[in-house]
Chains A and B, each alone.
Chain A
């Protein structure tokens, strides 16, 4: 017997060593010096955490009891790792691409980041890991008892559990790495892997050459059946166990942690693909010999699980026994640490954190508190996990074969498999399907395997076990639906995994994935095709409908016409006379280039890549994106147009304002002029009438004269008012001139007649030219006469020549009638030419008659209102004459 003190010292020393390794490596990792650690050997050795005390102790026990069956536990993982290119590589790729932190994270993430799936997966992981932890506790406890002598099993196990919890907490929760990587732990368990391998090989070598005298001797007098185990080796159980272990190497939380989460470089998988099976090979090589040696040399009632320990002890090799103990201790603690870390990560991420965040007040500073909460929840979870493991150990009596307990755990985590495979390979797997499958599988596993393992207990009585709940025969836990005669493990497997897979298939088939789920499907199932995934496929794996989809995309972004043109050109470049171009890399690149002009290079590439690479989410989402972009472009264009319009409007308003101001000024001017004009005759009338009313009397000849002046002035006033009225009417445009064909000659003659008294008075000779044939103009006869009278009157009044003459001529020009009114007095000077048409202006020679000065403006307005004009024409000698212009018209048919 080795003294307890020595034992404890060795254990503590070993733990301290492990700590040292972990601490050192963590420090170097934080300093960024990860080179040594990123060796594929370290990675592979860390995967060997698969070999727990079940392998170290329990495999020998299994070999001794059941023959070669123990090999299945290691052949399954071998097959999975040999086929790494397909399953493991995809798993690792997805894990890295999506920053997956646990198997629950992967499942929940794939099925639309579903929190309910995460919780379910976490619970399954927690409960399935419990027996496994219990088996580690059991092995350490029993091995301790064997070496150190009898002790209270439950108490010992308790302290061991507490110690393991402390290790796990100290190892795994010192700092929370962003990627959930624990470099120190990985290094420590790699170290442990070497220790346990060395220990087992040492005992094996001892068993063969130290005890049995060589390889051939050891099996010499052992019947083959003992080696093979009873019955057929390669039976259903062999297949089932191989399958289970193959499942476990992926689905066990700790295995997922070291293989996927802790993976630094995907290429390490290539090395692990052969190195890990090699490690397993090395571990199992000596199992059978040790078992045989134990069977031969140890008493019949010795627990074959612990031959590894009892054999050296029995032969007096205490150092070897200590080494063996260390190996077993090592294998148990590495499992517990990694499993506790993995499961506590799940519990804190998927159960504690969501609940805590829901309750967290908004005011708290998020990062610091969250990290603290994370750490605390992790630690509490680890304590919980170990506590549950201890509970299981306590309730189950702690005396079962280690392998049997381990297999229960295997079957539990196997419930992840259907949903996991669906997540990786089946586009149509939905969240509802995964939920249904996993829940059913879990419940059935618990019912058929977990609860019966307690034997007769409160959870499941012996009666229920043998006759079914409430005596219902068909619901017997180990013979559901009448499936009798099966090995309980196989029965449980078939029932739970069968229901799991069937429900996954069935429910997925009748449900639709949500939008987030569809996105995730592409991320996961098509990870080797996506641009981020790279590697496997060629640049674009193009299929039939791709070009049509690209065409639709182009139409949405570029517009119908442009897209058609583009595709036509591309087709023609390929020599096609009609239809769409073939989807070559050049076509796709060209399209990308053109689209980049509208939506930017990154978006264009993303859109085209997704269409061309068969992303399911693709078309609808892409079309929505394209529509959105289009709408944005249009909106911004409309906005800029609007703002231009507004500018224009503002400008127009400013102009109008300006004009209004001018008109206002003009109006004021007009009013002041008019009032001045009106006042002058009024003054005369008033003064003369005052004189007439004068009581002093007025001479009769003065009376008549004065009355005459008053009369004249009144008339003048009236005329003025008429003119003003005319003017305003003409200007306002409310003046309706009725036009009709007018004989111009007749109008002139009539006007001349009206003016002749004035001409005679002033001694002016009036000449009216004769017109051969009647000239018709479209005009208003009265108004024309008025204008003519005004012009001719002006010519008479303002003629300063000594022998005044006024000429009136009418002639035809090019569809128009011209009437020239000229005098020999020179007419209007150039300087006055513009201003004569101003209101209230009188010519220089205005001395003789005081008209209002509105005559010319009125006449011009009349002419213009009739569709003609009144202008001043200048002759070469500087003299001028007035010209009336009118449109010609056909004479009225009589």
Chain B
């Protein structure tokens, strides 16, 4: 049971890594990113600037989590 579980977790971690990359690609590139090209401001800061840095930070956190998962289960 343990081996099967580990195999599933491993697969899941890999899927999460791909998902993360896909999210990054979509969120940071047109056409999707174009949706966030707004003139507004958040806390006095330009919206798109905040958007980009927020997405970036989220990706970093996501990468950290996924990396730990991939590391745990990789037997190299």
Which applies to chain B's interface (DSSP): helix, strand, loop or mixed?
helix
A271 touches B76 (CB 8 A): no
The answer to whether A205 has its CB under 8 Å from any CB of chain B is: no
Shortest C-beta distance, A515 to chain B (Å), equals 30
B28 touches A235 (CB 8 A): no
The answer to whether B67 has its CB under 8 Å from any CB of chain A is: yes
What is the total number of residues of chain B having a CB less than 8 Å from a CB of chain A?
A: 39
Residue on B nearest A271 in the bound complex, by CB: B67
The answer to whether A215 has its CB under 8 Å from any CB of chain B is: yes
A270 touches B71 (CB 8 A): yes
Question: Given that A82-B24, A228-B46 are known contacts, is A234 also in contact with B67, CB under 8 Å in the complex?
Answer: no
Residues of A759-807 whose CB lies within 8 A of B = none
Render A846-871 as a binary contact track against B, CB cut-off 8 A, 1 for contact.
00000000000000000000000000
Render B26-60 as a binary contact track against A, CB cut-off 8 A, 1 for contact.
00111101100101010111101100110011011
Stretch at the interface among A217-225, A418-426, A693-701: A217-225
Contacting residue for B74 out of A75, A228, A285, A535, CB 8 A: A535
Contacting residue for B29 out of A219, A224, A234, A535, CB 8 A: A234
The answer to whether A71 has its CB under 8 Å from any CB of chain B is: yes
Which residues of A lie under 8 Å from residue B48 when comparing CB positions?
68, 227-228, 233
Shortest C-beta distance, A211 to chain B (Å), equals 16
Residue on B nearest A93 in the bound complex, by CB: B76
Contacting residue for B37 out of A232, A281, A285, A535, CB 8 A: A232
The answer to whether A355 has its CB under 8 Å from any CB of chain B is: no
The answer to whether A19 has its CB under 8 Å from any CB of chain B is: no
Residues of A77-94 whose CB lies within 8 A of B = 78-79, 81-86
The answer to whether A238 has its CB under 8 Å from any CB of chain B is: yes
Which residue, of A83, A86, A288, has the highest number of chain B Cβ atoms within 10 A? A83
B56 touches A75 (CB 8 A): yes
B71 touches A79 (CB 8 A): no
The answer to whether A267 has its CB under 8 Å from any CB of chain B is: yes
The answer to whether B14 has its CB under 8 Å from any CB of chain A is: yes
Residue on A nearest B64 in the bound complex, by CB: A274
Which residues of A lie under 8 Å from residue B30 when comparing CB positions?
234-235, 238-239
A285 touches B44 (CB 8 A): no
Residue on A nearest B29 in the bound complex, by CB: A239
Which applies to chain A's interface (DSSP): helix, strand, loop or mixed?
helix
Which residues of B lie under 8 Å from residue A71 when comparing CB positions?
52
What is the total number of residues of chain A having a CB less than 8 Å from a CB of chain B?
A: 39
Shortest C-beta distance, A231 to chain B (Å), equals 11
A227 touches B75 (CB 8 A): no
In the bound complex, how far is the Cα of B53 from the Cα of A535, in angstroms?
A: 35
Contacting residue for B67 out of A79, A224, A274, A285, CB 8 A: A274
The answer to whether A273 has its CB under 8 Å from any CB of chain B is: yes
A281 touches B28 (CB 8 A): no
In the bound complex, how far is the Cα of B43 from the Cα of A217, in angstroms?
A: 10
The answer to whether A131 has its CB under 8 Å from any CB of chain B is: no
B49 touches A267 (CB 8 A): no
In the bound complex, how far is the Cα of B60 from the Cα of A82, in angstroms?
A: 8
Which residues of B lie under 8 Å from residue A232 when comparing CB positions?
34, 37
A281 touches B53 (CB 8 A): yes
The answer to whether A406 has its CB under 8 Å from any CB of chain B is: no
In the bound complex, how far is the Cα of B34 from the Cα of A516, in angstroms?
A: 48
A273 touches B67 (CB 8 A): yes
A85 touches B56 (CB 8 A): no
In the bound complex, how far is the Cα of B10 from the Cα of A589, in angstroms?
A: 26
Residue on A nearest B24 in the bound complex, by CB: A79
The 9 closest A-B pairs by CB, nearest first: A216-B44, A274-B63, A274-B64, A234-B30, A83-B21, A270-B67, A535-B76, A234-B33, A270-B71
A-side residues, CB < 8 A to B, are: 68, 71, 75, 78-79, 81-86, 215-217, 219-220, 224, 227-228, 232-235, 238-239, 242, 266-267, 270-271, 273-274, 277-278, 281, 285, 288, 534-535
Beyond A82-B20, A85-B14, A242-B29: 11 further Cβ-contacts under 8 Å?
A78-B60, A83-B18, A227-B48, A232-B34, A233-B37, A234-B33, A238-B33, A239-B30, A270-B71, A534-B76, A535-B75
17 contacts between A and B (CB under 8 A): A68-B48, A78-B24, A83-B21, A85-B70, A217-B44, A234-B31, A235-B30, A238-B33, A239-B29, A242-B29, A270-B67, A270-B70, A274-B63, A274-B64, A281-B57, A288-B49, A534-B75
